[in-house]
């Protein structure tokens, strides 16, 4: 049976469905940033940006840009009514201190033991880009990853063990890909949901780790 993989917005929208009202959520750069656009405005989810914004709102109208208000991607945003600002040490205290209900990050690879690799493609890479990913990955109450199921060269990203340098060990709780939603459990990846037309067999063929 034929299937159509989700696009970036489709992955983000699928993830957004599962974020309940009242959660404090940090969204990483890339596909994760798109997630906010798919949470209905009447569902009060509080988005945290690592540069010290609590209550990030949607993009401003082009004639109403506040040059002093950006998110972690350095994109201009708005502040929701009820929002507030903190300095950088407090902003990362929110992340590291376990105050985030959820952090959504992109990744190169996720392993069946919950390891995540999202900051360097090899240990020899000369120029490293850590940013806030390591702080967010260890600190949030739950870490979800949104990413393509395979690389552009059809290499699997859901691994038995990560092959790229780790960002953190054993922290990923769920993965949303363009093909499926998978929980990371003590027994490895468990498929929660697949796109229409996808079979467990076809998904397994695109995954290095054993699926259940």
Judged by CB under 8 A, the residue of 19, 45, 46, 49 near other proteins is: 49
135 binds other proteins (CB under 8 A): yes
> Which stretch, 67-75, 141-149, 178-186, 194-202, contacts other proteins (CB under 8 A)?
67-75
- By CB under 8 A, is residue 99 in contact with other proteins? no
Site string for other proteins, 145-174 (x = CB under 8 A): --------------------xxxxx-----
For the beta carbon of residue 199, count every other beta carbon within 10 angstroms: 11
Say which residues have a Cβ less than 8 Å from residue 211's Cβ, sequence separation at least 6. 182, 188, 189, 190, 191, 200, 203, 204
Q: For residues 162 and 87, what is the distance between their CA atoms, to the nearest angstrom?
A: 34
200 binds other proteins (CB under 8 A): no
The secondary element (H helix, E strand) that includes residue 93 is helix 88-96
Q: Is 68 in the site for other proteins (CB under 8 A)?
A: yes
Q: How many residues bind other proteins (CB under 8 A)?
A: 42
Measured from the CB atom, the residue of 104 and 133 that comes closer to other proteins is: 133
Known catalytic residue: 21? no
Q: Does 92 bind other proteins (CB under 8 A)?
A: yes
Q: How far apart are CA 75 and CA 71, in angstroms?
A: 6
Closest separation between CB of residue 161 and other proteins, Å? 13
Using CB under 8 A, list all residues that contact other proteins: 49-53, 66-70, 74, 79, 85-89, 91-93, 95-96, 120, 123, 126-136, 138-139, 165-169
**Residues that are catalytic:** 50
């Amino acid at each position: 049976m034929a299937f159509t993989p989700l696009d970036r917005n489709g992955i983000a929208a699928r993830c957004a469905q599962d974020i309940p009202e009242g959660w404090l959520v940090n969204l990483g750069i890339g596909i994760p940033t798109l997630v906010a656009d798919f949470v209905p405005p009447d569902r009060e989810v509080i988005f945290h940006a690592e540069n010290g914004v609590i209550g990030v709102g949607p993009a401003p109208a082009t004639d109403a840009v506040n040059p002093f208000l950006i998110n972690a991607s350095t994109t201009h945003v708005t502040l929701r009514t009820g929002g507030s600002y903190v300095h950088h040490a407090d902003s990362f205290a929110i992340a590291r201190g376990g105050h985030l209900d959820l952090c959504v990050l992109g990744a190169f690879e996720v392993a069946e033991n919950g390891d995540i690799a999202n900051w360097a493609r090899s240990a020899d890479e000369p120029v490293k880009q850590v940013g806030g990913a390591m702080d967010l990955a260890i600190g949030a109450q739950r870490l979800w990853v949104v990413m393509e199921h395979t690389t552009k060269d059809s290499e699997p990203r859901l691994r038995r063990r990560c092959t790229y340098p780790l960002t953190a060990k054993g922290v990923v709780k769920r993965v949303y890909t363009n093909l499926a939603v998978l929980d990371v459990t003590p027994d490895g990846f468990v498929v929660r949901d697949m796109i229409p037309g996808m079979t467990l067999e076809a998904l397994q063929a695109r995954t290095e780790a054993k699926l259940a």
